[in-house]
A = this chain, B = another copy of it.
Amino acid sequence: MNQQTALLYGRKYAGSASHRAECRELPVKIIRVREAFMALFRGAFQEVELTDPQWRVLRVLSTVDEIDTAALAERAILLGPSLTRILRDLDQRGLVTRRSSRLDARRSLHSITPEGLRIIDEIIPRFDPFYQSLARRMDQGDVAQLGALLDMLLDNLDAAIKDSEE
């Protein structure tokens, strides 16, 4: 039923407690789930000719009045160079605008245009069937617990990253 989610990022734990190998299966599962989500949304994005990262930028801009580049990158989960390219393209399509800050000329402040907002309003309802389909299949308690466990994993990964940076 499930695709192959074999161990890729390590070896099976050689010690006595074989359940400790579980951690090592998480990266592959995360990769596969991410791809499945993207595959699910791809059609909706294509209908409005946006990519997933472009969508995230517009989505963040639709929730604020203005926002500077660094904050936009953080909230849209993008690195600076990706965001620069995306803003250039969205600007050319007339979906976003920018002005530079008068307090600090290094900063740009970005906002969404009415046309950008129109696209947002058009696409958001298209997500509904996917979530409804998912909610029909999955127990809501499981979903809530999965969310909590992912938050916990994220916190622990961040801590492990900080550890390994020393």
| Interface, chain A (partner B; CB < 8 A) | 1-6, 8-11, 19-20, 22-37, 39-41, 43, 55-56, 59-60, 63, 74-77, 124, 127-131, 133-135, 137-138, 140, 142-147, 149-161, 163-164
Contact = CB atoms under 8 A, between A and B. Distances in A.
14 contacts: A4-B74, A8-B55, A19-B140, A23-B138, A24-B131, A29-B147, A30-B37, A33-B150, A33-B157, A40-B161, A130-B164, A134-B157, A145-B145, A145-B149
B144 A146 contact: no
A135 B23 contact: yes
Contacts of A144: 19, 22
Nearest to A60: B8
A78 B60 CA distance: 30
Q: Is the interface of A mostly helix, strand, loop or mixed?
A: helix
A143 B98 CA distance: 44
Nearest to A137: B156
B156 A138 contact: yes
A140 B134 CA distance: 27
A5 B151 contact: yes
A26 B153 contact: no
Contact of A154 (B33, B127, B155): B33
Nearest to A138: B156
A20 to B, nearest CB: 6
Contacts of A129: 164
A8 B38 CA distance: 13
Considering residues A8, A25, A155, which has the most beta carbons from chain B within 10 angstroms of its beta carbon?
A8
